[in-house]
Structure 1
Amino acid sequence: MKAVVMREQQLLVDDIPAPVPGLGEVLVKTLACGICGSDLHMFHHCEHVLGNFKRGHIPVDFDARKDVVFGHEYCAEVLDHGPGSDKKIKVGTRVCSLPFVITPSRFDHIGYSNQYPGGYGEQMVLSEQMLIPVPGDLPAEIAALAEPLTVAAHAVNRAQLQGDEVPVVIGCGPIGLAVIAALKSRGIGPIVAADFSPARRALAEKLGADVVVNPAEQSPYQSWLDVAAPPGYEINSPFALFGLGTQPQPCVVFECVGLPGLIQQAIQNAPPRSRIIVVGVCMETDQIEPLIGIGKEANLHFSFGYTGEEFTQTLYALADGKLDGAPMITGRVKLDGVAEAFRALASPEDQAKVMITFD
């Protein structure tokens, strides 16, 4: 099969052996696959990422000296069943799946594995127990958005929203946009979103942000004050610090950039007792001032991955129109355009979510 292979720090289109399904696995044809920000991180910082996973006992690992085929945001069609499969999902069925293969002896993350190529190739082997049939006639590229949108749904679930919060989304890249879409689908708002890029601010508006700001011109926390706080509320006053007098709506900050200093910035500038959900993947050592966080009773949560139930709920929300992720897709490429797409994704003015198509 043809695939985009990460080999010797390059992305190359090559013919490689097609995967063969093993016990309890299925062979599928890739229909669409999104390029994830995590793929860019892995391509540019592979050893650093794998080293951090190892130190954190996170079981994502592969040999970077050998070929790797990225791609974990996919929609596919079942071609064949491996031995021991129950074959409940018939050949020809379109499916999404959690990108994991879990056995008593090993864990593989599809797309970050030497053994399990991902959706940057024409075919994949998936675990039968992870498959979710695509509902109705949902287009393949929209179904492939289920994975990044579920990352956002999980982050929103981590925030334990009660419905009266005013969220602040810092960063309107693909995950920030997905968080905005998830919040909008649940009726949470008004949503304040911030990004330096005019193009991504425009996308944030399309996906449902109510107040969109350029942080070079105005603090997103000032924008939050304008829509969430009663007249006379002073965010840095002793009354605010100790919860005295009329209080604002609760603040929830979704940090979706992943650059050093942004967690501290949220702790320092958000109102007391804010919930801060860290979704952006920072590739460097960061620093916070615990004293400020303690004084303001900040609630700091990190979000990673999702559950099977969340994945299924997101896929069905896309199918029934409760969740609209289509504006996230800003470009489409074939396999021979993937390397250029990686370069384009380095500039926020060019692209947000690029989808690899195979038809």
Structure 2
Amino acid sequence: MTTMKSVRTGAAGKVDVVDVERPVPGPKDVLVRMRACGICGTDTYFVHLGGTPYSPDGPAGSVVPLPLGHEPAGEIVEAGAEVTDLKAGDRVVVNPQGVPSGIIGCGGEHGAMSEYLLLEDAEIGRTVAVFPDSVPFDVAALNEPMAVARHCVNRSEAKPADKVVVFGAGPIGLGATIWLKLRGVEHVVVADVIPSRLETALAVGADAVVNSAEEDVTARLTELHGQAADSLGRPRAGTDIYIDAAGVAAVFHATVDAAKWGAKLVMVGVQKKADIDLGGMLRSELTLIASQGYPTEIFEVTPEIVEHHERFARLISHRVPFAEVERAFALAVTPGASEKVVVTFDDPE
């Protein structure tokens, strides 16, 4: 039996590196040698928990270990006999939701934080997209989170003349900022509490930043976007669209306090529980729009990441070799220790 290294959830807050059987592709499958894989907030949730609570076979409340990794980029090393549009040597990004064995790294049979990844029923445009060697694998591994950010921007329906604020300068918020600017939106503000993140926001194209730990958000947005009013004529900021990429209750409060008549709030950050001032929303006729995943965007983003890969590369704060994967996850689960961690794999021999 040929084995490979694979990362799974261990005890709560830890990961285990285990030896597992290296997959063998069937006639419609491809085997991908991993070259880079990002660590996401969903991964850290599973790591904190020690697995997934979603097993249909276990008792209620049980936690089941699972393979990790759903932000992969790699190189095909073997293609099944019936695969006609892919070949060994192709550099690919992956749709984690495009395989029949379950979502890769999120409860499915396979995880991409492994030396090799099996993709069943592989097909360009559904399972994978091919990208050129001009793009580093670590940047290509941003394809999945940037699809999440793109869906959020698509849901906002932002137009060039709109004034937008993005709360949260993590990978999704910064990705949304890039997509907004590439969409032609003239003025995008990014709010966060960490100065280094705000510096990155400016570097990727934000027109202004707000340190929400030190500044009055409503006053600052009014200064930047002008003054408008709610339905009762009370002064409000002239911001058209608020994007919550932070997932904290304070974003809702800040938005309701600042929102003018007819503003939108797009929620892409995962909220736990938040007390919402429904009366305040009513007085602004604030539209709440939820954004989940990437129904159509997973490969819509790939050509533009290729074109603007140097800009997207700024989102990566740490590149950690697979041999030190435990350190990579320790960085990712520690608040404030990193922005975006990408695990890299050695070049093929």
TM interval, shorter chain, is 0.7 to 0.9
**How far has the Cα of 1:249 moved from its partner?**
5.5
Check conservation: 2:9, 2:50, Cα contact below 8 A.
no
**Matching residue of 1:286:** 274
**Matching residue of 2:317:** 330
**Matching residue of 2:70:** 72
Equivalent position to 1:268, from 257, 265, 272: 257
**How far has the Cα of 1:354 moved from its partner?**
0.9
**Matching residue of 2:293:** 305
Equivalent position to 2:84, from 87, 96, 99: 87
Question: Which residues of structure 1 form unaligned runs of 5+?
Answer: 55-62, 242-246
**Matching residue of 1:339:** 326
Moved more, 200-209 or 341-350: 341-350
Q: Give matches, 1:118-197, under 5 Å.
A: 118=112, 120-127=113-120, 128-129=122-123, 130-197=127-194
For 1:254-277, what per-residue CA distance to the aligned partner results, in whole angstroms no more than 9, with x for missing partners?
111112343243223322221101
Cα distance in 2 for residues equivalent to 1:301 and 1:290 = 15
**Matching residue of 2:106:** 112
SS in 2 for 1:109: coil
**Matching residue of 1:226:** 223
Cα distance in 2 for residues equivalent to 1:64 and 1:121 = 21
Aligned residues: 333
Cα distance in 2 for residues equivalent to 1:6 and 1:300 = 35
Moved more, 69-78 or 3-12: 3-12
**Matching residue of 1:58:** none
Cα distance in 1 for residues equivalent to 2:244 and 2:49 = 21
Equivalent position to 1:354, from 341, 344, 347: 341
**How far has the Cα of 1:240 moved from its partner?**
5.6
**Matching residue of 1:206:** 203
Matched, 1:6 2:6: no
**How far has the Cα of 1:64 moved from its partner?**
4.1
Cα distance in 2 for residues equivalent to 1:186 and 1:322 = 16
SS in 1 for 2:45: helix
Residue identity in the other structure for 2:274: D
Residue identity in the other structure for 1:196: V
Cα distance in 2 for residues equivalent to 1:200 and 1:77 = 32
Q: 1:248 to 1:331 in 2, by over 3 A?
A: closer
Equivalent position to 2:95, from 71, 93, 98: 98
Residue identity in the other structure for 1:113: G
Matched, 1:40 2:44: yes
Question: Which residues of structure 2 form unaligned runs of 5+?
Answer: 57-61
SS in 2 for 1:351: coil
Cα distance in 2 for residues equivalent to 1:97 and 1:34 = 12
**How far has the Cα of 1:22 moved from its partner?**
4.2
**How far has the Cα of 1:234 moved from its partner?**
5.2
For 1:279-332, what per-residue CA distance to the aligned partner results, in whole angstroms no more than 9, with x for missing partners?
1112x3333232221221001011111134x23231110212288211111111
Check conservation: 2:244, 2:251, Cα contact below 8 A.
yes
SS in 2 for 1:355: strand
**How far has the Cα of 1:209 moved from its partner?**
1.2
**How far has the Cα of 1:141 moved from its partner?**
1.1
SS in 1 for 2:280: helix
